């Protein structure tokens, strides 16, 4: 049994990771800035702290007496959020900086940092037929403005704390994680959840229109949450010292993503395209040669399988949150 802190445990990925660590028999301290009523999951038997980890003294309090840290804490969301909240995203640098300082001072044995594919050079993501982003494609640096630059800088902080102070650090670059217990409305949701929400709303109201951000030809890969948690744990306890991709290599266009959700719903829609909406890079995919070399594994849950579970969960939540009357379900574009 290890004594492990999960920073950002009140969020989507953090909640799933906390649940997995507790099920493995570890003593877990869960930390998040949100009030407990806003946490995505509350895991029984876990010690929960509500703390703003941008403050150094709170990081010391969170880590004191523990051995390992998973840092998933950040102010972030989907493209609609990160393109309009660049300063807020940049301020997350304080979380990682102060957690690293606390980890060094308190003798933490191992430290995981959740980075993002947004660190990659934008000039390498202009073609929808992206062959896959290799880890070396982060340099020369031209990261996503705001959020991506913060992630890239924080990766460097982990590297130099390892080099200068001997802190064992591991860094994974997440590629679009989705699944149950994730955000599906409010502006911070990722594309799979947003599309599910829109299709479910149309299905329940017997409506036929859906608005898609951009022309729908932009491409991405999407990793189901179970693969993400498995990858986090494998990378944390590996000998991988450099930042590494953690994402599916199954690339689809946003139009294909809508096709898949329509197929699940059995509900065909008329598509309208908002070319002025936030849409990010034209093509992004995870090149998984390195993770396969290190671990003999890569994320393998298909998008169709993961979407089915995600769709069912979001539909249940949408109905539950409106008094179980589908006619009262509120949805937006």
**Residue 66: active-site member:** no
Closest C-alpha among 57, 322, 299 to residue 201: 322
pLDDT at 332: 39
Give yes or no for residue 327 having a pLDDT over 90. Answer: no
Largest CA distance in the chain: 60
Which residue reads 């594309």 in tokens? 191
pLDDT score for 329: 42
Which pLDDT score is estimated for 78? Answer: 72
pLDDT tens-digit series, residues 54-95: 999 999 999 999 999 999 999 877 777 888 899 999 999 999
pLDDT digits 0-9 by tens, 189-213: 889 999 999 999 998 888 889 999 9
pLDDT in tens, 121-132: 999 999 999 999
Amino acid 328: pLDDT? 42
The 8-class DSSP code of residue 282 comes to S
Exactly one of 66, 120, 147, 178 is catalytic; name it: 147
Q: How confident is the model at residue 134 (pLDDT cuts 50, 70, 90)?
A: very high
The rounded distance, in Å, linking the Cα atoms of 249 and 229 is 17
* pLDDT of amino acid 323: 57
pLDDT tens readout for residues 49-61? 999 999 999 999 9
Instruction: Please give the model's pTM, rounded to 2 decimal places.
Output: 0.93
The closest of 15, 20, 8, 19 to 237, measured between CA atoms, is 20
């Amino acid at each position: 049994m290890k004594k492990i802190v999960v920073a950002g445990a009140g969020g989507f990925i953090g909640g799933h990771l906390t649940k997995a660590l507790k099920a493995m028999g570890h003593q877990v301290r869960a930390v998040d800035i949100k009030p407990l009523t806003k946490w995505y999951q509350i895991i029984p038997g876990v010690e929960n702290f509500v703390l703003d980890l941008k403050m150094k003294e709170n990081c010391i309090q969170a880590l004191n007496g523990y051995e390992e840290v998973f840092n998933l804490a950040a102010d972030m969301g989907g493209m609609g959020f990160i393109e309009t909240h660049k300063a807020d995203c940049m301020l997350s640098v304080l979380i990682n900086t102060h957690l690293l300082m606390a980890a060094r001072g308190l003798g933490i044995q191992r430290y995981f940092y959740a980075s993002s594919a947004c660190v990659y050079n934008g000039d390498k993501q202009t073609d929808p037929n992206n062959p896959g982003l290799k880890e070396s494609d982060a340099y020369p640096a031209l990261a996503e403005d705001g959020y991506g630059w913060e992630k890239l800088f924080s990766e460097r902080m982990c590297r130099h704390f390892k080099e200068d102070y001997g802190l064992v650090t591991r860094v994974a670059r997440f590629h679009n994680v989705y699944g149950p217990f994730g955000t599906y409305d409010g502006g911070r949701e990722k594309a799979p959840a947003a599309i599910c929400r829109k299709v479910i709303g149309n299905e329940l109201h017997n409506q036929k229109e859906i608005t898609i951000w951009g022309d729908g030809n932009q491409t991405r890969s999407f990793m189901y949450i179970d693969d993400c948690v498995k990858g986090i744990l494998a990378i944390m306890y590996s000998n991988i010292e450099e930042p590494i991709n953690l994402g599916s290599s199954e690339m689809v266009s946003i139009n294909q993503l809508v096709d898949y959700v329509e197929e699940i719903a059995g509900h065909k829609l008329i598509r309208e395209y908002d070319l002025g909406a936030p849409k990010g890079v034209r093509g992004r995919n995870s090149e998984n040669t390195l993770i396969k070399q290190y671990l003999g594994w890569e994320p393998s849950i298909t998008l169709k399988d993961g979407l089915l579970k995600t769709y069912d969960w979001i539909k249940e939540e949408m109905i539950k949150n409106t008094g179980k009357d589908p006619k009262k379900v509120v949805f937006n574009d």
